[in-house]
Amino acid sequence: MVAEAKARGLALTGPDGLLKLFTKNVLETALNEEMTEHLGHEKNQADPDRESTNVRNGTRAKTVLSDAAGEVQIEVPRDRESTFEPQIVKKRQRRLTDVDEIVLSLYAK
């Protein structure tokens, strides 16, 4: 993947680097999985007979700061009742710690 990115002229780090794209992808995927766990159903797969009326309610943009990737803009999912408490990027958290190593190890596998 890194070789293909270099062939296309993408740098590994920097403002439009591969690491920034990886970080965004991993964080948004993890946040969406957290939302699925919170609500108890996949997106657009809610059981009509469920007791709760809480469903996904779009996303909001958030910019976080990573040591290796710099500023990364991510889309954080919201729920209608505002009860979702994300864990990987908590509410009001702006600086990511140790996320760069996690992202690289996930993509290395």
* Per-residue confidence (pLDDT) for residue 29, from 0 to 100: 95
pLDDT in tens, 5-39: 667 676 666 666 778 888 899 899 999 999 999 99
List Cβ neighbours of 14 (8 Å cut-off, separation of 6 or more): 20, 70
pLDDT in tens, 28-82: 999 999 999 999 888 888 888 888 888 999 999 999 998 877 899 999 999 999 9
* Per-residue confidence (pLDDT) for residue 48, from 0 to 100: 81
* Per-residue confidence (pLDDT) for residue 17, from 0 to 100: 75
* Per-residue confidence (pLDDT) for residue 68, from 0 to 100: 75
